[in-house]
Amino acid sequence: MKNIAWGKLGFHYTEPDYIVRSACHEGVWEDPYATQDKFLHLHVQATCLQYGQEAFEGLKAFRGVDGKIRLFRWRENAKRMARSAEGLFMTPVPEAVFGKAIHLALEKNLDFVPPYGTGATLYFRPLLIGTTPRLGVGPGRDFEFIVIPSPIGPYYPGKFHCTSFIVNRYVDRAAPYGTGQFKVGGNYAASFRATEAAHNMGMDCLFLDAKYHKYIDECSAANFIGIMRKGDKIEYLTPRSSAILPSITNDSLMTLAKERGYKVTRRHIRLEELADMSEAAACGTACVISPIDRVIDPEKNVMYSFGAEPGEVLTGLYRALKDIQYGRAEDKHGWTEIFS
Ligand code: PLP
Ligand code: COI
């Protein structure tokens, strides 16, 4: 195992020994291969550089309580990357190529899988880029698929603590029926102006729908979850929107929430409804569940507060998901794959 201060890792890149690559020409993907070369020899007119023909993914491998390494729902990432590819007119990476590349990247970097109990995981960043040189505006026909592993720690500093969010109405992340439903780099670049301003204030951004600026869409790199309580009835609420990424974490949490007897509702959520929620959080592969302590709406001079400590409903869901990922609880849904 590498000599890394695993417990001190944040969400930063640590150079792995190998990355895995596969190119596609004339619709045919080559067999993925491992290489130590982390640089691309890319034409300056490549469609990924000129016209943003690019998509990526994010998934994790966990070293469990039993010492075994588990990959979490990688087939869902493969499917989502295929949808992103179709959305940007790229040749989708077949699931077999995606899977082979992930497994090879893990096999070649086993020393980078963090030990159990450190809070760190091995994160994989699958990347798909258009490599055809073009000046005329239009899609390329050649692609490169790359899997880049990196050990990471928590996305937000601290293991399970609250983050504050700010709402803005001057930067829209993604349009309805635009690229928000795909995991493409342009969405993130489009949010930088807002997220950097929020980070400078020690917060992150909660984006509203781009058409009405009325409904909650999602966070810059995560879906939104709100918890409503009426007596002993608990409702798990999450936005329905054509501009947000279908989160695999959110999907898993919805299943776990239903199992606990919570009502799960996916619908348009007005920003003002935050006032009726007892708990709120961002959720995603990188941030798992990051509870929200407050959401500030500076233009309306309103602050929604959820308490300084993570609430019990989201804490319970967080533990349930982590227990499956680390092999501490039975994986009834077949979400994890033991790497051998
Ligand atoms: N929404 C956005 C914009 C994201 O970048 C991510 C991260 O991947 C998510 C949601 C969460 O998706 P997942 O749970 O599949 O990681
Ligand atoms: C993830 O959660 O995997 C992400 O990709 C979000 C972000 C770091 C881009």
Residue 235 lies in a domain: yes
| Number of domains making up the chain | 2
Among all ligands shown, which has an atom nearest to the Cα of 126? 2
Structural domain including 144 reads 6-152
Per-residue pLDDT of the chain (340 residues; tens, 9 = 90+): 999 999 999 999 999 999 999 999 999 999 999 999 999 999 999 999 999 999 999 999 999 999 999 999 999 999 999 999 999 999 999 999 999 999 999 999 999 999 999 999 999 999 999 999 999 999 999 999 999 999 999 887 766 788 999 999 999 999 999 999 999 999 999 999 999 999 999 999 999 999 999 999 999 899 999 999 999 999 999 999 999 999 999 999 999 999 999 999 999 999 999 999 999 999 999 999 999 999 999 999 999 999 989 999 999 999 999 999 999 999 999 999 999 7
Structure tokens at 241: 């929107």
Measured in Å, residue 110 CA sits from the centre of ligand 1 at: 25
Measured in Å, residue 312 CA sits from the centre of ligand 1 at: 23
Please state the atom number of ligand 2 nearest to the C-alpha of residue 188: 9
Q: What pTM did the predictor assign?
A: 0.97
Q: Are residues 167 and 312 in the same domain?
A: yes
Please state the atom number of ligand 2 nearest to the C-alpha of residue 59: 3
Contacts of 15 (CB under 8 A, 6+ apart): 38, 150
Residue 69 lies in a domain: yes
Q: Hey, whose CA ends up nearest to atom 9 of ligand 2?
A: 221
- What are the phi and psi torsion angles at 315 (to 5°)? -65, -40
- Residue 219 in contact with ligand 2 by CB distance below 6 A: no
**Which CATH number is 257's domain given?**
3.20.10.10
Task: Tell me the pairing of strands 263-267 and 233-239.
Answer: parallel
Residue 337 lies in a domain: no
